[in-house]
Amino acid sequence: YQGGVVPVKSVRIVSIGDLDIEACGGTHVANTSDVEEIKITRTKRIQDGVVRIEFVSGESAKGFVRKKQQDSESREKEEKLKEQEKEKRVERRQLAKERIPIIAKSLSECKEGISTIEDIIMELTESGKANFCYSTSNDYDDIFHIGLGEVLCKADPRLVYCGLFEDGEKIRVIVYAGDEISKEKSAEGIVRSISQILGGAGGGSSKFAQGGGTDKSKKEDAIKNAKTVILE
């Protein structure tokens, strides 16, 4: 026997086959059926030849089974949601692939001044200065902004593209800067400035950066700040 003083006159020991037996002063019943259902929760190797088996019984065992079932259903639900989100991203990527060339062509035909095409605003300035294209519409996501920004800045090396959109509890910002303007107006600097207003942070390179924050009420203030930095 291993353990402290047993608080009873006798200890009942149940032998199972030729397994080693160690008695303990735990729960003792007249009949093993009194403990009802038994579920092993885990096993742990203490030392060579000694394995600790942890289990629950009775109502605790039923609760253990219920929790395992709930956890399994929860994981299954999460996996299903992830798969659905993956499928949606594939669809959005395909849609963006189809729409971006059309929108980019329309934006490339804009004249000097301010033009709006499908909630995307283009501000073209006089020759030699920065051009600014942006959108704060939640109809566009990161896939769209990254695709459109890359196309526009490749076509116009003096263009800065900025996309702000809500993503769950956050508001995200994506910025592209053309080859020429990126030497004067760094995409990373613009993102850091905008993200700070939104209550967050960001980073990247002089040509591409992204960030965001949690203060959705500051979306318009953030884009005004970007406009000031880019067009000053």
Q: Supply the pLDDT for residue 20.
A: 64
Least confident among 45-59, 61-75, 102-116? 45-59
Cβ neighbours of residue 105 closer than 8 Å, sequence gap 6 or more: none
Q: What is the pTM of this model?
A: 0.64
Higher pLDDT, 82 or 23: 82
Q: Supply the pLDDT for residue 74.
A: 92
- Over residues 195-213, the pLDDT tens digits come to 999 999 999 999 999 999 9
Which alpha helices (DSSP H) does the chain contain, by range?
58-108, 142-155, 187-197, 219-231
Rounded CA-CA distance 135/185 in Å is 19
Cβ neighbours of residue 218 closer than 8 Å, sequence gap 6 or more: 197, 198, 199
Could you give the domains of the chain?
110-231 (3.10.310.40)
Rounded CA-CA distance 133/131 in Å is 7
Rounded CA-CA distance 170/210 in Å is 13
| pLDDT of 30 strictly over 80 | no
pLDDT band at 2 (very low <50, low <70, confident <90, very high): low
Q: Supply the Cα-derived Rg of the chain in whole angstroms.
A: 32
Higher pLDDT, 205 or 57: 205
DSSP 173-193: EEEEE-TTGGGTS-HHHHHHH
Instruction: Provide mean pLDDT across the span 175-192.
Output: 93
Buried b or exposed e, range 173-211, using 16+ CB within 10 angstroms = bbbbbbeebbeebbbbbbbbbbbbbbebebebebbbbbb
pLDDT band at 35 (very low <50, low <70, confident <90, very high): confident
Q: Supply the pLDDT for residue 91.
A: 82
pLDDT band at 232 (very low <50, low <70, confident <90, very high): confident
Rounded CA-CA distance 167/209 in Å is 17
